[in-house]
Amino acid sequence: MSTVVGEMDQHDDHHHHAPSGITRWLFTTNHKDIGSMYLWFSFIMFLVGGSMAMVIRAELFQPGLQLVDPHFFNQMTTVHGLIMVFGAVMPAFTGLANWMIPMMIGAPDMALPRMNNWSFWILPFAFAILLASLFMEGGGPAFGWTFYAPLSTTYSSDSTALFVFSVHIMGISSIMGAINVIVTIMNMRAPGMSYMKMPLFVWTWFITAFLLIAVMPVLAGAVTMVLTDKYFGTSFFDAAGGGDPVMFQHIFWFFGHPEVYIMILPSFGIVSAIIPAFSRKRLFGYSSMVYATAAIAGLSFLVWAHHMFTTGMPVFAELFFMYCTMLISVPTGVKVFNWVATMWRGSISFETPMLFALAFVILFTIGGFSGLMLAITPVDFQYHDTYFVVAHFHYVLVSGAIFSIMAAAYYWLPKWTGHMYDEGLAKLHFWASLISVNVLFFPMHFAGLAGMPRRIPDYSVQFADINQIVSIGGFAFGLSQLIFLWLVIKCVKGGKKAPAKPWEGAEGLEWTVPSPAPYHTFDTPPEVK
């Protein structure tokens, strides 16, 4: 430990001026630089994955095969999912953690700055490998982001090895990031910053980091088994060799369900910071928020098989996983209640971060309710693998996770850039996104209930109208995000000077430092009352 802290001291003492040019970014160990790189990377990946979604929606604009052949369509759905999960949402949260956690707990930097540099810089290589596989003979991964065996073993293209290695690298990056977050929070809090005084964003990330440590290695194991089954003659998932393809689903979803909470718990933290700030009240039920987050994380390990109700599980197991899944709505309900109670009789103003946070609460709750419907075993037999599932998880991930990331970006942009963003442009971005996201995803519920299966390039004609509406919503949502890109560039380049605390009701150590935040903050720990 002494060496790590020693290096950090040296860094703080002797290198107050950042090196310039590309080497600044390549060799930086500064949490703010690395946070910015994570955020830009995730935004680029958001646009790449988004353009794949545009290909999907263009093909589905009308029945029949128009633009792409089915094999390419499958690659688009697969890589869209992988990029959005591992390239957009997760790095965006890691970027926010890098920027905000040290400032929120009064630490000078992350605990392991060199590893921090590593965990970012291997990510571009992971996604370069994944995207390059699309151009290989036989195409890239086309088995869905869940890579069920035997689709990913017996029936996959030769590029599967590249997919496996890129997932390995993404996993290593996430694990290193999680270790860094845990060590930072445990060891680098300012004096007086007890665990139960930490901002909720720090708390939710702390719990998320433990989830990452627990399940990313299981994902690594699953892809390794796919690799050896495909290339080295093992039979983990091959019934002919004594394996079992259903076991793949158990292992995958043992990772996969905690993974979906990894993508939503930090959102809870963001919204728990923004709603009190713009309601000008303290957060209602702070400690119940902490316990609810921990409860959700714990329960996430007991519900994985609700993704597999139709695999022929015994009734007892179906009931067990159904009730455990429904139990999750209790701590989630506590959270939604607390947010609403925070706003109750607050002096609310509707700046863009608050608008996104409010949209998050409402739309995420809609996604939660459709999740409850899917949890009911008998009806899941109808909903399974239909567009109802697609609607559900896009409500929780796009209008949930992504909206919270947008809210966070607007909330902290003045702190990051030192400039106020263009509020008019931001409102335009919000309303365009809010309307188009609902045009995009809400009709999918009806398509799914009517029986339209997911992951198909063609569909029968009675779904044509719904799909046309969905596609129009999709194109509108995609274009709306370019407003955000323009807004961020504009805000970085200039704008009204931001004060240290641009939001009247905001609380937290990050607002005690000037805007933009100096390259080094809290070289001497702040006093925490």
Interacting residues with another protein (CB under 8 A):
1, 4-5, 9, 111-112, 175, 178-179, 182-183, 186-188, 191, 213-222, 225, 236, 244, 246-247, 250-251, 254, 312-314, 317, 525
Q: Which among 197, 201, 247 has a CA at the least distance from the CA of 99?
A: 201
Of the pair 245, 505, the CB lying nearest another protein is at 245
* Least Cβ distance, residue 232 to another protein (angstroms): 14
Closer residue to another protein, CB minimum distance, 4 or 122: 4
User: Is residue 174 annotated as part of the catalytic site, yes or no?
Assistant: yes
Q: Is 109 a catalytic residue?
A: yes
Nearest CA to 246 among 333, 304, 298, 179?
304
* 16 belongs to the catalytic site: no
The catalytic residue among 31, 57, 307, 429 is 307
- The least distance separating another protein from the CB of residue 29, rounded to whole angstroms, comes to 15
Q: Which of 385, 395, 393, 400 is nearest to 448 (CA)?
A: 385
Which CB, 175 or 485, lies closer to another protein? Answer: 175
CB 405 within 8 Å of CB 447: no
**Nearest distance from residue 470's CB to another protein, in Å?**
37
| 40, 118, 121, 145: the active-site residue | 145
Least distance CB 211 / another protein (angstroms): 11
Pinpoint the alpha helices (H) of 263-312.
Answer: 265-279, 286-299
Active site residue 17: no
- Closer residue to another protein in complex, CB, 225/401: 225
| Identity of the residue, 130 or 212, whose beta carbon is nearer to another protein in the bound complex | 212
Q: Given 204, 293, 300, 332, which residue is catalytic?
A: 332
Respond yes or no: is residue 272 known to be catalytic: yes
Given the residues 280, 454, 455, 490, the one annotated as active site: 454
> Smaller CB distance to another protein: residue 220 or 270?
220
Cβ closer to another protein: 228 or 288? 228
Q: Is 99 a catalytic residue?
A: no
- In the complex, least distance from residue 245 CB atom to another protein, rounded to whole angstroms: 11
Q: How far is the CB of 188 from another protein (least distance, A)?
A: 8
Annotated catalytic residue: which of 94, 173, 279, 352?
173
User: Of the listed 153, 208, 272, 436, which one is catalytic?
Assistant: 272
Interatomic CA distance for residues 491 and 418, integer angstroms: 9
Tell me, yes or no, if 429 is annotated catalytic. no
Distance CA(493)–CA(180), nearest Å, equals 31
User: Residues 306, 419, 429, 501: which is the catalytic one?
Assistant: 306
Q: Note if 145 is an active site residue.
A: yes
Catalytic status, residue 454: yes
201-225: string of b/e by CB count within 10 Å (b at 16+)? bbbbbbbbbbbbebbbebbbebbeb
The residue among 12 and 423 lying less far from another protein, judged by its C-beta, is 12
Residue closer to another protein, measured from CB, 179 or 492: 179
Before 525, cis peptide (omega within 30)? no
Nearest in space to 267 (alpha carbons), one of 247, 296, 288, 224: 296
**Is 230 noted as a catalytic residue in this protein?**
no
- Tell me which of 238, 259, 318, 380 is the catalytic residue: 259
For Cα atoms 415, 418, 424, give the angle at the middle one, nearest 5 degrees. 90
Cβ atoms of 162 and 266 closer than 8 Å: no
For 68: left if phi > 0, alpha if psi spans -120 to 50, otherwise beta; the answer is beta
**Residue 148 beta carbon to another protein: minimum distance, rounded to whole angstroms:** 16
Return the number of the residue (124 or 525) whose C-beta is nearest another protein: 525
Give the burial class of 461: count Cβ atoms within 10 A of its Cβ; 0-12 exposed, 13-18 middle, 19 or more buried. Answer: exposed
Is 173 a known active-site residue? yes
Task: Find the catalytic residue in 31, 32, 57, 80.
Answer: 80
Q: First CA to last CA across the chain, in angstroms?
A: 28
| 306 labelled catalytic | yes
Cα–Cα distances (Å) from 317 to 15, 85, 146, 312, 499, in that order, read 59, 28, 22, 10, 56
Q: Of 149, 135, 148, which is closest to residue 75 (Cα–Cα)?
A: 135
| Distance separating alpha carbons of residues 198 and 45, to the nearest angstrom | 31
Give start and end residues of each alpha helix (H) in 188-314. 200-231, 245-262, 265-279, 286-299
Out of 32, 230, 257, 419, which one is annotated catalytic? 257
Instruction: Kindly report the number of other CB atoms within 10 A of residue 273's CB atom.
Output: 27
Q: Give kind and range of the element (H or E) at residue 50.
A: helix 31-59
CB of 9 to another protein, least distance (A): 6
Examine the residue annotation and report whether 460 is marked as an active-site residue of this protein.
no
Q: Are 390 and 444 in contact (CB under 8 A)?
A: yes
Q: At what angle do helices 113-121 and 123-132 cross, to 10 degrees?
A: 10
Minimum Å distance from CB 166 to another protein?
A: 18
31 part of the active site: no
**Minimal distance in Å, beta carbon 88 to another protein?**
24
DSSP E strands in 46-112: the ranges are none
Cα-trace Rg, the chain: 23
- Which residues belong to the active site? 80, 109, 145, 173-174, 257, 259, 261, 272, 306-307, 332, 335, 454
